[in-house]
Chains A and B, each alone.
Chain A
Amino acid sequence: MFKKIMVPVDLAHAALLQSSIDLAADLAKRYQAETCYVSVTANTPGALARTPEEYAHKLADFAKAQGKLHGQEVSSRVVTAPDPIADMDDAIIQAIHDTGADLVIMSTHLPRRLDVVVPSNGGKVATHTDVSVFLVRHRD
């Protein structure tokens, strides 16, 4: 049913994303699908990596580790943006198109009042793509 599952991840908050990462692994096993881990990151030095290339290596290692853990086919992709917080939704939507993913599994926070001015990325992505989107709630 699904051939390629895309999982947006931020390595800085990997613990928060555990449920969506586990779910993606379960579904990938069920449908024999490939899992593609995608990150949108700044081009300036950050906490995890000092260059976009360094971040790409870390994400590739993360994907590799996940692939080994579940014995599945994985890939990774890093999109750099000058203003990642603002460009997140567009970058993910573009990545869905570029990777040819047919299912997106991503974490999202509980609905809150602030969503009126700062909408959740998951909600925005779901309304702007024609592939299936599975939003996994996490409590922060």
Chain B
Amino acid sequence: MENDSPNTPRGKDAPVSDGVPKPEGPANLIDTDYVIGQDNVTASRFGLDVDLHGKVFSISALTILFFVFITLALQDQVEPIFDAVFAFLTGNMSWFFLLAANIFVLLAVGLIFTPLGKIRIGGAHATPDFSYTGWFAMLFAAGMGIGLMFYGVSEPLTHFGTALGGTSMENGARTDWAPLAAAAGDTDGAISLAMAATIFHWGLHPWGIYAVVALALALFSFNKGLPLTMRSVFYPILGERIWGWPGHVIDILAVFATLFGLATSLGLGASQASAGLAYLFGIPDNDVTMVLLIVGISAVALLSVLAGVDKGVQRLSQLNMVLAFLLLAFVIAVGPTLAIASGFFENLGAYLVHLPALSMPFGREDANFSQGWTAFYWAWWISWSPFVGMFIARVSRGRSVREFLIAVLLVPSLVSVLWMTAFGGTAIDQVITDNFQGVKDAALELQLFTMLGQLPLTSITSFVGIVLVMVFFITSSDSGSLVIDSITAGGKVDAPKPQRMFWAIIEGVIAIALLLGGGLAALQTAVITTGLPFTLVLVAACYAIIKGLLSEPRG
């Protein structure tokens, strides 16, 4: 978008305005005296320029160091603590996660059909910065990408197995992990229940969570003129107090969840990719391979953050989409094509039929499933939501609310249905039709490759699979570094480049330290526990969205 305003010198009386003019195109800025960056520390030393929010940056950095230190030094002591907190959350708070996620989905779906959907992010005359394909590729790659690679095969297969196995009771409590009432001995029923449960975890609910965070941030930044950081969402509730400690705490928590979420999945992902490389090419599966993988992924992510959103993140995300589409098309074409095509609609139907029961927060009999699977996933998606939501917000200026929700909620959900149907359906088909048990018996990180091993052209597709896993990590890592950089710079997106380099590097360093020292899984548990406070943030975001949208000019 460009603005041309030629000025020729006028008479000597022409006043030079210093006031704040109204933006072009109707929007409704919040009236605040806070100047973005007023709490920032700027300095230029040793040839390095910095522009940071003093408190958010320093406390985040110290907290991160502290957690890395205690996880490494007191591994045996902290792991049970993290595990106990997490077990309490998913055990006793699962109703809260399930209830909150339902509210997010209802709000996001509801807004599509209200007149509020016409409001445009960035003001009525704002124009989009990215094409549809570039925009969608980025939000999809940031949102789940990597998970689809690992769980696309294993989750449908797992639910299929437990559902087919039926229920078992001990002391009046269910000991099986099957969803709902299971489908003992009923193959078709087990397939439809398994696919419905998987799609439930990868469909409307996760994307509803992301959509709520992203829409709230985009609205309060682009339409209300507040900085692009998590605290801005609380303006309708806390008012000017968001510039003080309540706001600092929210931002620090967001940095913590994003950095450790990325570092721990980078570490765990490297160990999975290393296992894949060993399985496919016989490369030794050891620490050296894993460290090299992390260094390589971090190096490419570093180049990508230096190249920026447009030339770095967008291009890699598009590369990802092309590769993922090729792999999907291949599985559909050489797998059970007809079964996948009809399965898409059957699974969509099964999802809608089972959705009310699966999303029911109260009176669940399938505690293992609803707490161990669903509540775990919801806490997981919610702990990622500051990062994914903020990144989606940043690239969504110029879209209408309706367009935004269709692209962030409905389209990705349908893509997930297709992906799960193709990968999970093929794996289940291999079990039923060919009686091939290899995938079921394989380790989690190898299930995708074992499934591909039963199809032609294995070496090519498996290689594409490995490349996809790595590129998905790179696109998470680079967009995450940009998000952390802008939160720790008080919402500025134009802080000096060395700052974003710092975060991209520190992420890789922490991943390596935890990988070699141990404690990756423990710390990941700690990250997921941030899902609870962020659920409260999201509930606040729902209120803020409605309040914010109602105060926007319409028509």
Contacts and interface: CB of A to CB of B under 8 A. Distances in A.
Interface string B214-231: 000000011001111000
A120 to B, nearest CB: 11
Interface string A65-98: 1011001111111111111111100100000001
Given A51-B29, A87-B308, A112-B47, 6 more contacts: A42-B493, A50-B29, A57-B5, A65-B16, A76-B5, A77-B4
Given A42-B494, A46-B36, A86-B307, A57 B21 contact: yes
Interface string A25-50: 00000000000000001111111001
7 contacts: A53-B24, A76-B6, A82-B130, A82-B395, A84-B494, A85-B493, A90-B311
A79 B311 contact: no
B338 interface: no
Contact of A86 (B10, B47, B310, B394): B310
Interface stretch (B142-150, B160-168, B496-504): B496-504
Contacts of A17: none
Interface of B: 1-10, 12, 14, 16-18, 20-21, 23-25, 27, 29, 35-38, 44, 47-49, 122-123, 129-130, 221-222, 225-228, 306-312, 394-395, 397, 482, 491-498, 501
A122 interface: no
A51 B2 contact: no
A60 B1 contact: no
A63 B4 CA distance: 12
Given A45-B226, A46-B36, A53-B24, A64 B7 contact: yes
B129 A85 contact: no
A44 B228 contact: yes
Nearest to A118: B497
A125 interface: no
B497 A83 contact: no
Pairs of residues from A and B, 3 with the lowest C-beta to C-beta distance, nearest first: A86-B308, A50-B225, A83-B308
Contacts of A114: 47-48, 498
A54 B25 CA distance: 12
A43 B122 contact: yes
Contacts of A21: none
Contacts of B495: 85
B17 A84 contact: no
Contacts of A1: none
A45 B227 contact: yes
A76 B7 contact: yes
Contacts of A113: 47
A80 B226 CA distance: 17
Interface of A: 41-47, 50-54, 56-57, 59-61, 63-65, 67-68, 71-87, 90, 98, 112-114, 117-118, 140
A71 B10 CA distance: 9
A68 B12 CA distance: 8
A112 B47 CA distance: 7
A68 B11 CA distance: 9
A45 B491 contact: yes
Nearest to B497: A118
Contacts of A50: 23, 29, 36, 225
Contacts of A68: 9-10, 12, 14, 16
B7 A85 contact: no
Contacts of A67: 7-9
B17 A73 contact: no
A75 B7 contact: yes
Contacts of A71: 9
A51 B5 contact: no
Contact of B3 (A78, A85, A112): A78
A47 B123 contact: no
A60 B397 contact: no
A98 B48 CA distance: 33
B311 A86 contact: yes
A77 B123 CA distance: 20
Contacts of A60: 5, 7
A44 B21 contact: no
Contacts of A82: 129-130, 309-310, 394-395, 397, 493
Contact of A85 (B36, B394, B497): B497
A82 B47 CA distance: 26
B234 to A, nearest CB: 16
A47 B35 contact: yes
Given A43-B122, A43-B129, A64-B16, A98 B2 contact: yes
A85 B494 contact: yes
A86 B306 contact: yes
Nearest to B21: A57
Contact of A45 (B12, B225, B394): B225
B496 A56 contact: no
A83 B313 CA distance: 11
Nearest to A64: B7
Contacts of A53: 3, 21, 23-25, 123
Nearest to A110: B47
Contacts of B8: 67, 73-74
A92 to B, nearest CB: 13
Given A45-B225, A85-B497, A52 B3 contact: yes
Contacts of B48: 114
Contact of B6 (A72, A75, A81, A86): A75
Contacts of A81: 129, 310
B29 A118 contact: no
Contacts of B36: 45-47, 50
B494 A63 contact: no
B9 A51 contact: no
A64 to B, nearest CB: 5
A90 B310 CA distance: 11
A118 B49 CA distance: 12
B494 A46 contact: yes
A44 B7 contact: no
Given A67-B7, A79-B2, A43 B492 contact: no
